[in-house]
Amino acid sequence: MTNANYIADIKNYVADVDEGAVDGIVKYLGIALRSSRDAALVSCSDAAELTRVREKFLKKKLGRTESDEQLDEAIAEVCQKMAGARNKSRVTFCYLLAARFNQLSLFA
């Protein structure tokens, strides 16, 4: 996928997309996006996957210090928001989480 594709996907969920943040998230995710199709997607039905998002993205990258329960609630909100999408792009998922915590500037 190109950055334009990611931006178009994110526009399904938010009206005003920070394109610089999208570029930064794509760079941050880097090899994961290219290693396999599965790695480029988030599965909301896979508990291990959601734990990885919490630990690696929310805690490590965003530096969130809320309880696991609070962070899991934020992840669940994004899963709910993206419920209509069969394939949930990891870039879109991370963008929505960063936006939820007002941290898009980390990527811009």
Q: What is the pLDDT of residues 45-79, one digit of tens each?
A: 999 999 999 999 999 999 999 999 999 999 999 99
Mean pLDDT of all residues belonging to the chain:
94
Count up the domains in the chain and report the number.
1
72-85 tens-digit pLDDT: 999 999 999 999 99
pLDDT, average across residues 31-39:
78
Q: How sure is the predictor about 38, in pLDDT bands with cuts at 50, 70 and 90?
A: confident
Position 11 pLDDT exceeds 90: yes
CA nearest neighbour of 22 among 39, 3, 37: 3
Tokens of 101: 């915590």
**Consecutive H or E run containing 52:** helix 47-52
Q: Exposed, middle or buried: residue 59 (CB in 10 Å: 0-12, 13-18, 19+)?
A: middle
According to DSSP, residue 91 is labeled H
Tell me how far apart the terminal alpha carbons of the chain are, to the nearest angstrom. Answer: 19
pLDDT tens, residue by residue, 94-106: 999 999 999 999 9
Question: Is the pLDDT reported for residue 1 higher than 90?
Answer: no
We report the CATH number of the domain holding residue 50 as 1.10.238.120
Which domain covers residue 40, as residue numbers? 3-106
